[in-house]
């Protein structure tokens, strides 16, 4: 019996499988496509996802292949300088195309020993008290203890579970692709600037070597979004909006995307869970979908591993829904707000001007950027210290940096008192006695996802929290 089957080898699935494997779980990824896609959807990682890569020792590879940009201007595309004092060691956006992110995450998963089967489509599932039976398109069957649907917005797993996906349907669609243009760059810049005065959903961005990323509103909503548009369709729409088709030719790839906004009602049904786009979809304003999926996986991985390992305290696996569902609901809400703010109608334009004025107050801008970048997320662990429920940013210690100590994905007690103990939990929690000039608490207990489960200096309090998050002590 396989421990966990992950359906879908996109960024969410690969991140989740790696997190499971890191904890010794046998994870199998089923990916229906035989080859990785060349289509570039997401263009970058926000601060919290960069931190996640740092926490697992992957930052070097990501930085080597990405480009750093300022974070200001990311809320509804309202141009502003980056706010000061962002609570992160990575106050930038890392521009890195989605296929590169997927390649790096796949390499990481492979190095850890995740089994990946390409050209393998899940078409059926059933579950009982002991496990899940998965039917594949080739007629074979697999059995696992748990299944996670990371199979994207049209998730087969979600549909087979019968989980509701309420929200708004696609009302508008855009055509997207990479292609060469037949006019000088100055012409592209001038025409695009003019069109964007009345339509912010139109753009041609240079990628180098005469290739442009083109996005243009579609004439109508296609019945099947997965059928790519033709080059003629793209040309026709470019002409309709700008009077020229820029002489586009030689497309590298073409696709379409829409503005559907939906959130799964439940993230867990028995032994089957949902993560990433399978659980939530929204338009790409603010660039958060892939980031949200990676962070779902980071939240779920250690909890599911604890369940498989037999040491999960009661309610730990359900806390995945309790913690992540509200985060996605908030992202959907802020995306709806950004969509309104990007309309060129007079009413929304007035609100946009007002929001822009408010963003000149540093605290307002910082609040919005913390939302977009994911560093403002605070899970509800009850009343307590400001840090409780938040992830702890990377801080300097005498021996180096905090995140260097988290590559193994274990719990961590950062003890500045030198008087505390994790005896009984040493298999799951590291005890680091050290001090940080950046940290004003006696001690902090971090979960494997870096969120602060406890702060204080009382051993009895600590024991209660160790039991709550890491199960009963080993005798």
Ligand X SMILES: Cc1cc2nc3c(=O)[nH]c(=O)nc-3n(C[C@H](O)[C@H](O)[C@H](O)COP(=O)(O)OP(=O)(O)OC[C@H]3O[C@@H](n4cnc5c(N)ncnc54)[C@H](O)[C@@H]3O)c2cc1C
Residue from 4, 19, 32, 201 touching ligand X (CB under 6 A): that is 32
Give the C-alpha separation, 475 to 216, whole Å.
63
Most distant pair of Cα atoms in the chain: their distance: 76
**Residue from 25, 53, 109, 122 binding ligand X (CB under 6 A):** 122
Considering the rule CB under 6 A, would residue 293 count as an interface residue with ligand X? yes
Nearest to 273 by CA among 377, 132, 368: 132
Rounded Cα distance between 32 and 17, Å, is 16
Residue number, 196 or 385, with CB nearest to ligand X? 196
Q: Per rule CB under 6 A, is residue 201 in the interface with ligand X? A: no
13 binds ligand X (CB under 6 A): yes
Contact 62, 6 (CB under 8 A): no
Contact call for residue 152 and ligand X (CB under 6 A): yes
Q: CB of 17 within 8 A of CB of 294?
A: no
> Does residue 305 touch ligand X according to CB under 6 A?
no
Residue 10 or 131 with smaller CB distance to ligand X: 10
Q: Does 2 bind ligand X (CB under 6 A)?
A: no
Q: Under a CB-based contact definition with an 8 Å cutoff, are residues 67 and 95 in contact?
A: yes
Q: Which residue stretch of 149-157, 224-232, 335-343, 464-472 sits at the interface with ligand X (rule: CB under 6 A)?
A: 149-157
Selection from 284, 454, 308, 285 nearest residue 384 by Cα? 454
Q: Could you give the C-alpha distances from 172 to 200, 277, 387, 397, in angstroms and in order?
A: 13, 19, 41, 50
Of 37-45, 226-234, 240-248, 370-378, the segment contacting ligand X by CB under 6 A is 37-45
Smallest separation (angstroms) from ligand X to the CB of 282: 8
Among 261, 288, 339, 373, binds ligand X (CB under 6 A): 288
**Dist CA 192 CA 339 (whole Å):** 20
Q: Which of 277, 307, 323, 449 binds ligand X (CB under 6 A)?
A: 277
Q: Return all residues near 356 (Cβ < 8 A) that are at least 6 apart.
A: 78, 80
Nearest CB to ligand X, comparing residues 203 and 348: 203
Residue 150 engages ligand X in binding (rule: CB under 6 A)? yes
Q: Report the b/e string of 116-135 with b at 16+ CB within 10 A.
A: beeebebeebebeeebbebb
Is position 9 an interface residue for ligand X (rule: CB under 6 A)?
A: yes
Q: Fill in the DSSP letter of residue 99.
A: H
Helix axes 319-341, 346-358, angle to 10 degrees: 120
Residue 293 or residue 301: which is nearer to ligand X going by CB? Answer: 293
Q: Residues 244-263 vs ligand X: string with x where CB under 6 A?
A: -------------x------
Pairing, β 280-281 against β 261-263: antiparallel
Is residue 11 near ligand X by the rule CB under 6 A?
Answer: yes
Pairing of strands 141-149, 2-7: parallel
Does 16 sit near ligand X (CB under 6 A)?
no
Quick one: which of 284, 376, 450, 456 contacts ligand X (CB under 6 A)?
A: 284
Structure tokens at 410: 């274990």
What's the min distance (Å) between Cβ of 441 and ligand X? 32
Which span (111-119, 146-154, 199-207, 426-434) binds ligand X, by CB under 6 A?
A: 146-154
According to the binding rule CB under 6 A, does residue 176 interact with ligand X? yes
Whole-angstrom CA distances from 137 to 122, 160, 361 are 6, 14, 55
Tell whether residue 339 is a contact of ligand X (CB under 6 A). Answer: no
- State how far the Cα of 451 lies from the Cα of 388, in Å rounded to an integer: 8
**242: contact with ligand X by CB under 6 A:** no
Asked if residue 42 binds ligand X (CB under 6 A), the reply is yes
Which residue's CB is nearer to ligand X, number 237 or number 291? 291
Dist CA 275 CA 185 (whole Å) = 41
Decide whether 23 or 291 has the Cβ nearer to ligand X: 291
The residue count for binding ligand X (CB under 6 A) is: 33
Residue ranges binding ligand X (CB under 6 A):
7-13, 30-33, 41-44, 98, 121-122, 150-152, 156, 176, 257, 276-277, 284, 287-291, 293
């Amino acid at each position: 019996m396989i421990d966990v089957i992950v359906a879908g080898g996109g960024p969410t699935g690969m991140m989740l499988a790696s997190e499971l494997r890191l904890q010794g779980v046998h994870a199998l990824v089923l990916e229906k496509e035989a080859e990785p896609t060349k289509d570039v959807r997401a263009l970058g990682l926000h601060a919290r996802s960069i931190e996640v890569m740092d926490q697992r020792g992957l930052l070097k590879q990501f930085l080597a292949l990405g480009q750093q940009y300022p974070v200001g201007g990311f809320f509804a595309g309202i141009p502003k300088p980056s706010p000061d004092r962002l609570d992160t060691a990575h106050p930038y956006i890392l521009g890195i195309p989605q296929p590169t992110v997927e390649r790096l995450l796949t390499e990481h998963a492979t190095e850890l020993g995740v089994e990946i089967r390409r050209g393998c489509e899940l078409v059926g599932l059933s579950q009982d008290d002991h496990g899940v039976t998965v039917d594949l398109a080739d007629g074979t069957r697999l059995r696992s203890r748990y299944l996670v649907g990371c199979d994207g917005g049209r998730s087969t797993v979600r549909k087979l579970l019968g989980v509701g996906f309420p929200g708004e349907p696609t009302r508008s669609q855009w055509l997207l692709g990479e292609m060469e243009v037949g006019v000088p760059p100055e012409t592209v810049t001038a025409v695009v600037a003019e069109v964007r005065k009345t339509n912010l959903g139109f753009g041609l961005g240079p990628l180098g070597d005469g290739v442009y990323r083109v996005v243009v509103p579609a004439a109508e909503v296609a019945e099947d979004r997965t059928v790519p548009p033709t080059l003629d369709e793209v040309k026709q729409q470019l002409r309709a909006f700008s009077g020229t088709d820029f002489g586009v030719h030689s497309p590298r790839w073409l696709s379409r995307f829409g503005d559907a906004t939906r959130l799964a009602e439940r993230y867990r049904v028995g032994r089957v869970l949902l993560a990433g786009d399978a659980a939530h979809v929204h338009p790409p304003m603010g660039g958060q979908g892939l980031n949200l999926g990676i962070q779902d996986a980071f939240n779920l991985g250690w909890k599911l591993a604890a369940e498989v390992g037999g040491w999960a305290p009661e309610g730990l696996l359900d806390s995945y829904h309790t913690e992540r569902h509200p985060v996605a609901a908030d992202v959907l809400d802020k995306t709806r707000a950004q969509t309104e703010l990007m309309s060129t109608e007079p009413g929304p334009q007035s609100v946009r001007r007002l929001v822009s004025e408010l963003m000149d107050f540093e605290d307002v801008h910082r609040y919005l950027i913390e939302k977009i970048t994911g560093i403002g997320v605070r899970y509800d662990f009850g009343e307590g210290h400001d840090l409780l429920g938040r992830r702890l940013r990377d801080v300097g210690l005498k021996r180096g940096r905090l995140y260097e100590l988290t590559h193994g994905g274990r719990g961590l007690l950062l003890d500045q008192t030198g008087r505390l103990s994790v005896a009984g939990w040493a298999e799951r929690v590291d005890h680091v006695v050290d001090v940080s000039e950046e940290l004003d608490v006696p001690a902090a207990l971090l979960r494997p996802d870096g969120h602060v489960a406890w702060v204080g200096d009382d051993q009895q309090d600590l024991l209660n929290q160790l039991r709550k998050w890491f199960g009963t002590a080993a005798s």
